[in-house]
Amino acid sequence: MPYVLNKKTGMDYKQTERLLQRKGLKKTKLRHALIRYFIKTQHAQSYADIKLALTEATDKSTLYRNLTAFEQAGLIHSINDHSGVTKYAFGEAPIQGNEHAHFVCECCETVYCMDGLAPLQLDVPKGFKANKVQTIIRGTCADC
Amino acid sequence: MPYVLNKKTGMDYKQTERLLQRKGLKKTKLRHALIRYFIKTQHAQSYADIKLALTEATDKSTLYRNLTAFEQAGLIHSINDHSGVTKYAFGEAPIQGNEHAHFVCECCETVYCMDGLAPLQLDVPKGFKANKVQTIIRGTCADC
DNA sequence: TTTTCAAATGCAACTAGGTTGCATTTGAAT
DNA sequence: ATTCAAATGCAACCTAGTTGCATTTGAAAA
């Protein structure tokens, strides 16, 4: 069961716009910029990363609210890599049976989404019921 | 590869005291209370849990500094269960090849340490090197 | 095209979780 | 008993993220 780098969803700009519309989200400058940014970037991005990269991101609460809205719309998913800051990456949250793992480079702190099979047959104690597994792999990435 | 509830380390009070001494940590009232608390409690505890439970825990920074010291001494380990607050449980941090997973109950928020085999043969893309895996299982616990 | 109105924005104030600097106190080795 | 690093308590600070509210804007209806 090998892990492979996530090739991103095949979604293009038009599709994401249609998705926003379907979710009742209006088109705004910031949202345009955010979608372009998430399609372009290869790895998970933090609030600070986005703030730094986009001149359109002027207000903290607006940006956070948009990240939340995008996540609820299934356009991005959030990742907790134990660094203390939430990161966001393009693509829907992995669903059960189609988990993806997050690889955190201990050298450059980059977070990669990796597709793979469900990481393990969940065999938990009596009375416990497992719903999903979140896997974080730590190591060194190809660039380090 | 079943997961079983962690039975805690066999460490008793005397042993933990000797451990503190070996690490050059002085005996204080708070540390006594903390050790007793961690031996007694069954699940991972947050700063807030401890603060509430121990009258000896008067100062925030002192408590945090002790948690850090205990973790460095290998007496407890910290857990990030994606709730936004760090939790601590008795026992050394799991080491490579002897990983343990954390089960987070989605109903009562309790965090259980679970022993199990290394969760998967790590097969990552070319150029990537995996060092360790952190697994969080979400579901419903036996009490819910 | 103008009107309309909920949705989105920008700003300030706030919260939670945790850290830092520093003066004072304390455990334990001498 | 003396000594001194380690531990404590306090206040101030930091970062990540949230909330309330007045203003602006996108887009659907008239």
Q: Where are the domains of chain B?
A: 4-90, 100-139
Q: pLDDT above 90 covers what percent of chain A?
A: 60
Q: How far apart, in whole angstroms, are the C-alpha atoms of residue A65 and residue A63?
A: 5
Q: Which of these, B9, B22, B7, B135, lies nearest to B69 by C-alpha position?
A: B22
Residue A19 predicted with pLDDT over 80: yes
pLDDT of residue B35: 95
Please judge whether A142 and B126 are an interchain contact, meaning their C-beta atoms are less than 8 angstroms apart.
Answer: yes
| Closest by Cβ to A131, choosing from B125, B134, B138 | B138
- Residue B105 is predicted with a pLDDT of 95
Please tell me if residue A99 touches chain B, with a CB cutoff of 8 Å: no
Mean of all residue pLDDT scores within chain A: 87
Looking at chain B, list the stretches that DSSP marks H as alpha helix, in order from N- to C-terminal side: 13-22, 29-40, 47-53, 60-73
Closest chain B C-alpha to A17 CA, distance in angstroms: 30
In this prediction, residue B7 has a pLDDT band, given cuts at 50, 70 and 90, of low
Task: Return the CATH number of the domain spanning residue range B4-90.
Answer: 1.10.10.10
Predicted confidence (pLDDT) at residue B61 exceeds the cutoff of 60: yes
Q: What is the mean pLDDT of residues A111-137?
A: 81
Distance in Å, alpha carbon of A26 to nearest chain B alpha carbon = 30
Residues in A touching B94 (Cβ below 8 Å): none
Residue B93: pLDDT over 80: no
pLDDT at res. A90: 92
Cβ-defined contact of B125 to A82 (cutoff 8 Å): no
CA atoms within 13 A on the CB side of A31: 19
Work out if B69's Cβ lies within 7 angstroms of strand D.
yes
Beginning with the edge strand found earlier in the chain, give each strand of the sheet holding B129-140 in spatial order.
A4-5, A111-115, A100-105, A129-140, B129-140, B100-105, B111-115, B4-5
Question: What mean pLDDT do residues A105-133 have?
Answer: 82
Distance CA B2 to C1' C11 in A: 53
Structure pTM?
0.87
Higher-pLDDT residue of A26, A1: A26
Higher pLDDT, B118 or A35: A35
Mutate to test the interface with A, among B85, B96, B117, B129 (most CBs of A within 10 A): B129
Question: CATH top-level class for A7-90?
Answer: mainly alpha
Residues of chain B contacting A125 with CB distance shorter than 8 Å:
2-5, 114, 142
- Closest protein residue to D18 (Cα–C1'): A61
User: Mean of the pLDDT values across residues B76-101?
Assistant: 82
